[in-house]
Amino acid sequence: MKQIKIVVAGPRGRMGKEALTLIENTEHFSLVGVIDRINEGKKVNEIKGLPNLDAIIYTDAIQCFQETAPDVLIDLTTPEIGRYHAELALDYGVRPVVGTTGFSKLDLERLSKLAKERQIGAIIAPNFAIGAILLMKFSQMAAKYFKDIEIIELHHDQKLDAPSGTAIKTAELISSVRESKKQGHPNEHETIQGARGAEFDGIHIHSVRLPGLIAHQEVMFGGHGQLLSIRHDSFNRESFMSGVKVSVETVMNLEVLVYGLENIIE
């Protein structure tokens, strides 16, 4: 299989470290560089806690792309930086695989337009775990029969964005098959602001942040005399890596931006 040259942005992060291990253990993946905020010019294997890979650390993404000419950028950083890296990658002919969440609809539209103009593949995946993709697909199926839906997403307390990218994507998929509906009593009133959570096309989304959690989501469907709950739990970040691997392989054959792994995994 042809070698795929990869740059990882955010290599010291929780997800970034896991992605480096994936690359180390995948024969046809080569790490050619990483983009970090510190340790300019050092090698990955000089940094405590990172795998034994000798790719160079860059603090300047442009220099990294120019000197390493990667096929793919895996971005696992923050919303602002992820946006910047994804756009820059497309400018430099590098295919972005973005796991970073917190992008707006406008960001997605802009990046999609850019990828189309440049005819460069890109993947933005709010969740790489196969179980979470199935949860979204099952939720979309169930929404045809149950119109009253609440999403509860639960994450570790270091997460920057709320609601999670997964919850937003789930609500988008549901609202694509369900007529708009205002849920709850028409005269309901929040005594404490936010009690009913965020709202997307009438679907309420509740974000829980607690230490000890990783990434969890439950979608609750209410009907007369019945409740259907669909839940997914990621107990570690390795759970996301098979989706990262498929994304890196798939993006090599794309010429547009794909938002969501449900569009790739049949």
Ligand X SMILES: O=C(O)C1=N[C@H](C(=O)O)C[C@H](O)C1
Ligand Y SMILES: NC(=O)C1=CN([C@@H]2O[C@H](COP(=O)(O)OP(=O)(O)OC[C@H]3O[C@@H](n4cnc5c(N)ncnc54)[C@H](O)[C@@H]3O)[C@@H](O)[C@H]2O)C=CC1
Q: Kindly list the residues in this chain that would bind ligand X in the complex (CB under 6 A).
A: 101, 126-127, 155, 159, 164-166, 215
Answer yes or no whether residue 181 interacts with ligand Y by CB under 6 A: no
Sites for ligand Y among residues 206-235 (CB under 6 A)? none
Q: What is the 3-state secondary structure (H, E, C) of the chain?
A: CCCEEEEEECCCCHHHHHHHHHHHCCCCEEEEEEECCCCCCCEHHHCCCCCCCCCEEECCHHHHHHHHCCCEEEECCCHHHHHHHHHHHHHCCCEEEECCCCCCHHHHHHHHHHHHHHCCCEEECCCCCHHHHHHHHHHHHHCCCCCEEEEEEEECCCCCCCCCHHHHHHHHHHHCCCCCCCCCCCCCCCCCCCCCCEEECCEEEEEEECCCCCEEEEEEEEECCEEEEEEEEECCHHHHHHHHHHHHHHHCCCCCEEECHHHCCC
What residue 121 binds from ligand Y, ligand X, none (CB within 5 to 8 A, per partner kind)? none
Q: In whole angstroms, how close is the CB of 165 to ligand Y at the nearest point?
A: 6
Q: In whole angstroms, how close is the CB of 90 to ligand Y at the nearest point?
A: 17
12 known ligand binder: yes
Nearer to ligand X, 39 or 127 (CB): 127
Nearer to ligand X, 68 or 101 (CB): 101
Sites for ligand Y among residues 14-73 (CB under 6 A)? 14-16, 35-37
Nearer to ligand X, 13 or 70 (CB): 13
Sites for ligand Y among residues 156-175 (CB under 6 A)? none
Residues with catalytic function = 155, 159
Nearer to ligand Y, 64 or 230 (CB): 64
10 known ligand binder: yes
Q: Give the residues lining the site for ligand Y (CB under 6 A).
A: 9-10, 12-16, 35-37, 76-78, 81, 99-102, 125-128, 240
